[in-house]
Amino acid sequence: MLQNMSQKFRGGCLMLVRDNDGTVDFLGTAFVVHSEGYLLTAAHLVSEADGLRVVPTPSGGEFQPISFDRVAAMAVSVARRDSAHDVALLKIDEGLDISVPDDFLGSGENVLPGASVMSLGYSFGHNQIHTALTVGGFAAAKIRSSNETQLILFDNMVQNGDVGGPLIHVTDGHVVGVINGRFEPADVVHGGDNWERRPAPNINTSFAVDIDYGTALMRSEGLLEHE
């Protein structure tokens, strides 16, 4: 089951980087949500909108090099940002027609504790490893932060590079969250528009914000007007 879900979504999972005067800085992960080149990621990764790029990497089952000497980076702009819920909608600047799965956006409302979930992201991108990792786990709980953000906790020790990637409900094959990092109770209790971002603790629980905040951005952009 995880193999099928991984192959379904890997092609739409991209590295998020910033071109900083010729130096490429890895930021995290973004994933395609619309055929016109729109992606979702975590808002705090794109607080500075200049120089943003996304980089696709091979998604097949072959053994790949750890890093690539050359990659095809595509410029992106921030179309919508919801800082309070830490979700951002990006748009690839170049006009592209991208293939996306049918019926792949779900809702955190459909996830119950104990459900099988899967994270997908460039876990070790900060270490120049250009490979998306698939990691399985279980939904541990659903909570609301102090600013009422709906969070899905899951038993998967995500890495910093996974932030911005999709959390997938394995049973129905829907994206149900945007990965935000390891669960640090003090950060979530603090809440607010700008959660404190401290080094990830050694906690084997991570969290994602409900994908509903992402689909709300898509709706405000006119991408889901026919639903």
The boundaries of the domain holding residue 33 are: 8-92
* 57 and 127 both lie in a single domain: no
On whether both 26 and 125 belong to a single domain, the answer is: no
Residue 206: the pLDDT is 95
Can you give the pLDDT at residue 203? 80
* CA–CA dist 91, 77 (Å, integer): 5
- 120 and 88 part of one domain: no
Position 46 scores a pLDDT of 96
Report CA-CA distances (Å) from 26 to 18, 84, 126.
7, 23, 6
> Could you tell me where the beta strands, DSSP code E, fall in 57-162?
74-82, 87-92, 116-121, 133-144, 150-154
Task: Please report where in the chains the tokens 């996306």 appear, as a residue.
Answer: 100
Q: Quote the number of domains for the chain.
A: 2
DSSP single-letter state for residue 177: E
Residues 87 and 187 reside in one and the same domain = no
What CATH number does residue 40 fall under? 2.40.10.10
The residue ranges of DSSP E strands in the chain, in sequence order, are 13-20, 23-34, 38-41, 52-55, 74-82, 87-92, 116-121, 133-144, 150-154, 166-169, 174-182, 206-210
Question: Could you give the CA distance from residue 64 to residue 139 in angstroms, rounded to a whole number?
Answer: 30
The answer to whether residue 156 is domain-embedded is yes
Residues 62, 150: one domain? no
**100 found inside a domain:** no
Residue 166 lies in a domain: yes
pLDDT in tens, the chain (227 residues): 678 878 788 889 999 999 988 788 999 999 999 999 999 999 999 999 999 999 988 766 677 777 776 667 899 999 999 999 999 999 999 877 787 878 899 999 999 999 999 999 999 999 988 899 999 999 999 999 888 999 999 999 999 999 999 999 999 999 999 999 998 877 665 555 555 555 556 788 999 999 999 999 999 999 986 54
The answer, as to whether pTM is greater than 0.75, is yes
Residues 22 and 48 in one domain: yes
Per-residue pLDDT, 201: 62
Q: Is 103 inside any structural domain? A: no
137 with 186, same domain?
yes
